[in-house]
Chains A and B, each alone.
Chain A
């Protein structure tokens, strides 16, 4: 393995890497703004300049020292190289770069949303100087609305061109460019264009300073208050890895989590902004229909009634007269318990899966220059259809599509349905049309959905942010997600409800259910890697590099 010496530390790497990449992998810090692992290298910010000595190609025993500073992000790492980012020359350069970058920076950290996760703040502290020698007036640029989700504060910009490269190389839409020259150089959109591609909000994440900010998150919370939970996108079947940033039981934003095999550094805007439903229209009590109106009821009575209603249907109409409708929004563990409970009451209970919404075709993004696929937004809008199918296949026996179930309900073959509802607005229409007519309808729903209106008994459940579990994405990858916030008042997760209904001993946890699943023959679930958040708030890149 080739090895080089960086600031007295030995750094080894494999394959072809630049000095900065090798150092980042080995956790040896070298400051950088414009370098991003997911984008092309331009070496424009100049803060990563280092002094280096490398072996002479003609006489490998001799070391040649380069007279000038070299950009470490762009220079390939060579075996036996000696790099220093702490020599007087390199430090003088870092200080000079910081001073230049801060010449026109408004220093409005108190009102800037980036404060707390800002490269300028960190590097100013680590590599900069305390005071500015600039006495002239700073250039002031008003903020500009450049897209659906993005605000541009030009005067905070350091022209690292990460956003420009993102729109050119990843989203392929190229709305952003550098305009002007010299001191008047600035990032802007082309006239008449807006940054509204389906990946647009990623430019906010990659912006190392507060020049591109999220309209949705603007002024809503300071970042150092946020706690982070590693999760999986609840909307896309691609299983994009995300961080949920939350505080005091409230979600504030969603950021991408690096996963080289799934979403790399990016997430779609849809995944980023689909969390409002967690705090909207939530149910906080069990309701049962009594003489045509909804009455609040306790969890104990709801549990008793669930078992009683299903048993009654089996008693009156024989086995095979009940059905369980699994939601592709539930975790696999929950579906397992759901199916297990349904079969424990009625051994021939029908299992059906709500078909997820399909939005046209998969959206594939390509780098226009190379033609390489950079990102795919899946058309299937549910995180766990695969898991549902796996559970249905595991239990075997009576299983049918939702349309067939509707037919059976119409023909009075199935009398009682225990359905887990999809949490997202408007997504439960097909389910409702299919099973709304069932004489006994028990719904597990987190929100005021159509299913809640029709159900004879409804129980308030948790959204994905309030529970842990695993989702299986469209490529069959089983990914675990952490619980971010506590269940809202009086809500219980599907898994907890079925755990109680099945009278399992001990406390419900996703891990305990996975253990049970593995024992039941679903070997894939024996050892699922649980994502960990080590730092209180992880800026996407630091975790990625």
Chain B
């Protein structure tokens, strides 16, 4: 770095009114009180989760964009219902959290060369960045709109191939491939 690259930033000079902070505090308090009165009439932004869910609301009213949300992964199926993944390890390579564990093997089908015999995603380790989705050359891995997953053990939160395929079956209707 050269000296001319360094830009020194000075904080803006404060006037006397700004220096005592009271007007700014009052203005902020005003916003709070305004919202307090607004909510009394039932006009509230609070959602009654889990009775109300964002995925059921229109996007323009603060609902979830189901096609774009980055929740739990799924493994897509091809037209014949087989796992679409070809075990190329691109997602595992792109994954910044190293949460995808694949074991590939020769496919039992004549028209396919390779498929995953094991495909585990550690949903606890995952940071839901969507890099796997972007790296996939065959659009086999996708993130769904599901976010409220629970498990009693850490092991339960490592989703295997069957669980990820089941997630596809569950979400395919609302989020087509």
Contact = CB atoms under 8 A, between A and B. Distances in A.
Contact of A218 (B86, B88, B106, B137): B106
B93 A219 contact: no
B106 A110 contact: no
B89 A219 contact: no
Nearest to A110: B88
A219 B114 CA distance: 8
A115 B90 CA distance: 11
A108 B104 CA distance: 15
Given A110-B86, A110-B88, A111-B88, A222 B113 contact: no
* Interface size band for A: 10 to 19
B105 interface: yes
Kindly name the residue among A108, A110, A218, A225 whose own CB sees the greatest number of chain B CB atoms within 10 A: A110
24 contacts: A109-B88, A109-B137, A110-B86, A110-B88, A110-B90, A110-B137, A110-B138, A111-B86, A111-B87, A111-B88, A111-B113, A111-B114, A115-B88, A218-B106, A219-B87, A219-B104, A219-B105, A219-B114, A222-B88, A222-B89, A222-B93, A224-B93, A225-B89, A225-B93
Given A219-B87, A219-B104, A108 B113 contact: yes
Nearest to B107: A111
Contacts of A225: 89, 93
B96 to A, nearest CB: 15
Contacts of A111: 86-88, 113-114
A219 B137 contact: no
Given A110-B86, A115-B88, 5 more contacts: A110-B90, A218-B106, A219-B104, A224-B93, A225-B93
Interface string A98-113: 0000000000111100
Interface string B63-87: 0000000000000000000000011
A108 B138 CA distance: 11
Interface of A: 108-111, 115, 218-219, 222, 224-225
A188 B90 CA distance: 32
Nearest to A153: B113
Interface in B94-143: 104-106, 113-114, 137-138
Contacts of B90: 110
Nearest to B102: A222
Contacts of A115: 88
Contacts of B104: 219
A95 B114 CA distance: 31
Contacts of B114: 111, 219
A224 B113 CA distance: 20
A222 B114 CA distance: 13
Nearest to B138: A110
Residue in B87, B89, B106 with the greatest tally of chain A CB atoms within 10 Å: B89
Contacts of B137: 109-110
Q: Which of A109, A115, A222 has the most CB of B within 10 A?
A: A222
Nearest to A220: B104
Interface in B31-78: none
Contacts of A110: 86, 88, 90, 137-138
B135 to A, nearest CB: 10
A222 B104 CA distance: 10
Contacts of B105: 219
B138 A219 contact: no
Nearest to B115: A111
A143 B87 CA distance: 18
Nearest to A115: B88
A219 B118 CA distance: 13
A216 to B, nearest CB: 13
A219 B108 CA distance: 14
Contacts of A224: 93
A109 B89 CA distance: 11
B108 to A, nearest CB: 13
Contacts of A109: 88, 137
A335 to B, nearest CB: 40
A5 B105 CA distance: 49
A111 B93 CA distance: 14
A115 B88 CA distance: 10
Contacts of A218: 106
Nearest to B113: A111
A110 B93 CA distance: 12
Nearest to B140: A110
A135 B138 CA distance: 21
Contacts of B106: 218-219
A218 B104 CA distance: 10
A110 B105 CA distance: 13
Contacts of B87: 111, 219
A225 B92 CA distance: 10
Nearest to A219: B104
A302 B87 CA distance: 46
B145 to A, nearest CB: 27
A109 B114 CA distance: 11
A224 B104 CA distance: 15
Closest 10 CB pairs of A and B: A110-B88, A111-B114, A111-B113, A222-B89, A219-B104, A110-B137, A111-B86, A110-B86, A219-B114, A219-B105
Contacts of B88: 109-111, 115, 222
Contacts of B138: 110
Nearest to B104: A219
A108 B107 CA distance: 14
A222 B113 CA distance: 15
